[in-house]
Structures are given as structure tokens and as C-alpha cells.
A = this chain, B = another copy of it.
Amino acid sequence: MLEEIKDLELLSTCHAEDKFHDECGVFGIFLNEYEDDCEAARTTFYGLYALQHRGQESAGIAVSNGHEIQLHKGMGLITEVIKPDHIKKLKGRLSIGHVRYSTTGMSNVVNTQPLVFHYLNGMLALAHNGNLVNTVELRKRLATYGSVFQTTSDTEVVANLLARYSQDNKIEDALARCIMDAKGAFALLIMTEDRLVGVRDPMGIRPLCIGELNGNYILASESAALDTVGATLIRDVNPGEIVVIDQDGLHSRQVIDSPRRAHCIFEYIYFARPDSTIDQVNVYQARREMGRQLARECNIDADMVISVPDSGTSSALGYAEEAGLPFEEGLMKNRYVGRTFIQPTQKMRELGVKLKLNAIEEVVCGKRIIMVDDSIVRGTTSKKIVQMLREAGATEVHMVVASPPTRFPCYYGIDTSRREELIASTMDETEIEKFIGADSLHYLSMEAMFAAMKSSEDTFCSACFSGKYPMEIET
């Protein structure tokens, strides 16, 4: 097990994507009608497969047959962790699953999800996307009552709260009390022996939607997972809403009704799949529109627009369209990036990014290039790409970024690196431009970003740009 973790460490060292990292993806299903006993697990497998981009560190599936919950999980991709033989053993009509990218560095098998607990009234499985901001306080409070914790995950905190509140209560009542206590961002799935429950934090920071497949309900982090399993998107879970699915169907309870929404704007910029629609906005269209807005804000005289693939492509297409410039594939990505890595020699280390990206000299040589990326985190990769384009003969390289400068860390479930590593928190735009060696550098403005989203600032959490956190953080 630790072997794999070491490999992942190597990965994060060598492949460092210079991007924010999402934390998790969740998927759950309650079957009323089913072909065979493994259908719930199998559908969850495919759902997680579609959500793999939200976490590649560990994966797991729990099922309930009405009496008992069974679990299989481990380190790795869902296809590495769950094999056909495992699916055969995961029998039951309810299932929840989880893919994980750890925010804290405590990446080991004990922190993989779903977590399964025995409590007073039976068994509980939990799968959580998000991050509580008052975990220390809650752990301390629970510990004084005698609670013990085997993991460092806030999901275990939620489970202990649930157990404590469920003495005489149904799980949804206990859960309603929990979400009063738990501050932070969460899209949480809970499975008891006979019920599937979903809840979304009061501001709707992390996404969670409801789907339907042949009369069966599904809960998933993104609508693309619904498409993949052939289900239809019904609606998003509302911020502060608890959704209970049992054999009588879907029941909703609006526990908290916050006027402030705070949907994570970075889901649209980078995290979510372009083919997902979150809180009624399609991600691809949002990105393309951000590209168009960007073109309106910049006014660069150039020969062509290229993107840093794959995440910059949608906005680059929007930019090219708006600017009336040709879009070209000036950078090619190696599609077979592995998970372990040989340390490069000193000479090669300087090349670095070439292992993943390569400039096409025939395309860029002698040309004035506008290069679109979705965001800049540390700036080191951007610097190398600009250099690569110049070496391939580009006469000008203008870097345009389809989001504002990322200056502040996220406390709501996203791994944003430490603040001092965020280039935009220590340098102004002129300094960054100089650092990355571009002829010019342009970020999307906050206003243009919200305009692209066709919505206002107070619908979103954009704290990573503005530092205005929608709720207080435990220190």
C-alpha cells in the first residue's frame, strides 16, 4: 500500500500540474428495479469512472443489501481498486462510491472513503466531497465526550456527530442537527442499510445533483456521471437541502435556507468536466464564454490563438472566435502520462514540461502567438511553455488567462498549494509577465468572469481570487 503512495508522491513531484486540485467525487444510487444483485455497485463503478478527474488517489464503493453494508476500497484509480471479482461480491440495491484527492497530505489507506461505521441504530456509510472549517473544534468537543478517531478526515467527525444525534432520531433528523454544527463546504452522501441520503452545504459550495435512471434515483457530484451511466439530470440538490431516497421515492427537506449562495467558481474554470452542467450552467459554455470575454478585454495583435491543452482549449476557442483569429493546435500533449517516474538528468530537468507538452514548430515558427490557459498557480509551467514556444520559433508569445489571478488559498476542499506558492499572491502582473517571459500577460477581470457566468458575485465563492471568504475559517 505504501509503495503506491510513494509512487504518488513521485507523481506529485514530477508531474506537478501547476493546477489547483479538486478533492473528491461522490456517486450514489438506490435501485428499485434491477437486473442483478451487483447492478448498484456496477453503476457506481461507472459513475466514479466518469468522476475520476475529481480524485485519482483512492477509490471505494460501499453497498447495502438492506441488512448489511459491504465495502471495498483502496489506493489508486477506480479501475485499479475495483476489479470484476470485487463487483461480484458487492451485492445490494443501494450503493455509494467515492474518488479522492487528499488535500492534507495524509494520503493513506485509512483515509480512503467511503467510511463505514457501526452505530447505535445499525450501519452507516459516508462519502464526502468538501472540507469542514471547524473540524478542530468539533473533534475537541466530541473527544471530551469520549469519541476516538481513527482517521484525520472530517468525515469521521460527521459520523461521530451523526451517531451522537441519532439516539432517538431518524438519520435525516440527526443529519439536520449535524449541518447546523458543521461549518464549511460539503456535498455528502450517507447510506444506511435501507436509505440513501444526500446533503449539500448551506451555500452550495460543492456541487451535488440528482439524476434518474429507469425509475431509480442517483446522486452525483457532476451531471457528466449521470450521462455516462445513461441517467437523466433532474436537478441540483439545493444548498442546505437534505434529500432522502428510499423505496418510497425521493423526499426533500430544506434545513437551512441561506440567502447567500457560494458555488465554487473554480468548478467552472478548471475542476468539473466540460460536459457537466452545475447549478444550471454548462461548464464548457461557461469556459468558452470566459474566452470570449477575455478577447473583448484584451486587444492583442497576433497571428493565431493556441491553448495549453486540455484545460485551456474551450476558452481558447472562445477567444479565437471572438478575436476572429485562427485557432491552431500549437502544443501537443502526450496522452500516456504514467504514474511513476524516473528522475531526469540535470540536462533533462531543464526541459521538464516537454515530457507532457511539445510545441509544433511547423505551426508556431515565425508566428505571433496568443496562448490561452485556464489559470496560473505557481507560474513555473507557464514559464517553461513560453520558453518552448520561443525555441520553436514563435516571434511573440502573449499569455492570456481565462480567470483572474489566484491569490488566496481555498479552505473548502481544494488543494491550492500554500499561499506563498501562488505566484499572484507575491507578484503583481508585470512581475509575473516578466517571470514567465511572455511578451504580454492578461488575466480575465472579476467582472468579465461574472458576466461570462451571467450572474453576480454573491452567487459564487470566488475567494481564491478575492480573499472574500463566504464563511469564517477556524485558525
The one of B83, B145, B313, B327 in contact with A340, judged by C-beta atoms closer than 8 angstroms, is: B83
- Chain B residues with Cβ below 8 Å from A102 are none
The one of B139, B145, B224, B339 in contact with A79, judged by C-beta atoms closer than 8 angstroms, is: B339
Determine if B355 and A277 form an interchain contact, defined as CB atoms under 8 angstroms apart: no
- The docked-state distance in angstroms from the alpha carbon of A120 to that of B42 is 40
Q: Is A206 an interface residue (CB 8 A)?
A: no
With A36-B345, A317-B329 known to touch, is A334 a contact of B119 (CB < 8 Å)?
no
Which of A110-118, A246-254, A368-376 lies on the face that meets chain B? A110-118
Q: Is A144 an interface residue (CB 8 A)?
A: yes
Q: Is A167 an interface residue (CB 8 A)?
A: yes
Which of A156-164, A440-448, A449-457, A458-466 lies on the face that meets chain B? A156-164
- The docked-state distance in angstroms from the alpha carbon of A144 to that of B1 is 35
| 0/1 interface trace, chain A 98-137, chain B, CB 8 Å (1 if under) | 0000000000011000011111100010000000000000
Determine if A167 and B147 form an interchain contact, defined as CB atoms under 8 angstroms apart: no
- The docked-state distance in angstroms from the alpha carbon of A89 to that of B118 is 32
Which of A48-56, A191-199, A294-302 lies on the face that meets chain B? A48-56
The one of B1, B53, B164, B326 in contact with A321, judged by C-beta atoms closer than 8 angstroms, is: B326
Number of this chain's copies in the complex: 4
With A35-B347, A310-B335, A358-B228 known to touch, is A342 a contact of B145 (CB < 8 Å)?
no
With A120-B144, A310-B335 known to touch, is A342 a contact of B82 (CB < 8 Å)?
yes
- Chain B residues with Cβ below 8 Å from A228 are 334, 351, 354-355, 358
With A79-B340, A150-B115, A339-B79 known to touch, is A1 a contact of B87 (CB < 8 Å)?
no
The one of B3, B39, B167, B341 in contact with A144, judged by C-beta atoms closer than 8 angstroms, is: B167
With A6-B85, A345-B42, A358-B228 known to touch, is A118 a contact of B334 (CB < 8 Å)?
no
Interface residues on chain A, size class: 35 or more
Determine if B360 and A284 form an interchain contact, defined as CB atoms under 8 angstroms apart: yes
Task: For chain A, residues 321 to 336, give those with C-beta under 8 angstroms from any C-beta of chain B.
Answer: 321, 326-329, 332, 334-336
- Chain B residues with Cβ below 8 Å from A212 are none
The one of B224, B342, B359 in contact with A45, judged by C-beta atoms closer than 8 angstroms, is: B342
Q: Is A282 an interface residue (CB 8 A)?
A: yes
Determine if A146 and B145 form an interchain contact, defined as CB atoms under 8 angstroms apart: yes
- The docked-state distance in angstroms from the alpha carbon of A56 to that of B56 is 21
With A53-B336, A339-B79 known to touch, is A230 a contact of B74 (CB < 8 Å)?
no
Task: For chain A, residues 4 to 54, give those with C-beta under 8 angstroms from any C-beta of chain B.
Answer: 6, 35-36, 39, 42-43, 45-46, 49-50, 52-53
With A79-B339, A230-B354 known to touch, is A46 a contact of B348 (CB < 8 Å)?
yes
Task: For chain A, residues 63 to 87, give those with C-beta under 8 angstroms from any C-beta of chain B.
Answer: 71-72, 74, 77-80, 82-87
Determine if A146 and B163 form an interchain contact, defined as CB atoms under 8 angstroms apart: yes
- The docked-state distance in angstroms from the alpha carbon of A1 to that of B109 is 11
Q: Is A343 an interface residue (CB 8 A)?
A: yes
Q: Is A413 an interface residue (CB 8 A)?
A: no
A285 CB to nearest chain B CB (Å): 5
Q: Is A274 an interface residue (CB 8 A)?
A: yes
With A52-B334, A79-B340, A120-B144 known to touch, is A275 a contact of B359 (CB < 8 Å)?
yes
- The docked-state distance in angstroms from the alpha carbon of A310 to that of B332 is 11
Determine if A346 and B124 form an interchain contact, defined as CB atoms under 8 angstroms apart: no
- The docked-state distance in angstroms from the alpha carbon of A150 to that of B147 is 12
Of A6, A313, A360, most buried by chain B (CB within 10 Å of CB) is A360
Determine if A119 and B335 form an interchain contact, defined as CB atoms under 8 angstroms apart: no
- The docked-state distance in angstroms from the alpha carbon of A310 to that of B106 is 35
Given contacts A83-B342, A227-B354, 20 further A-B contacts (CB under 8 A): A3-B83, A46-B355, A52-B335, A53-B336, A78-B338, A79-B336, A115-B150, A117-B148, A118-B149, A119-B148, A120-B146, A143-B163, A145-B145, A145-B146, A146-B163, A147-B163, A224-B332, A229-B351, A273-B332, A317-B327
- Nearest 10 Cβ contacts at the A-B interface: A79-B338, A146-B164, A52-B336, A275-B332, A282-B362, A120-B143, A117-B148, A118-B149, A275-B358, A148-B163
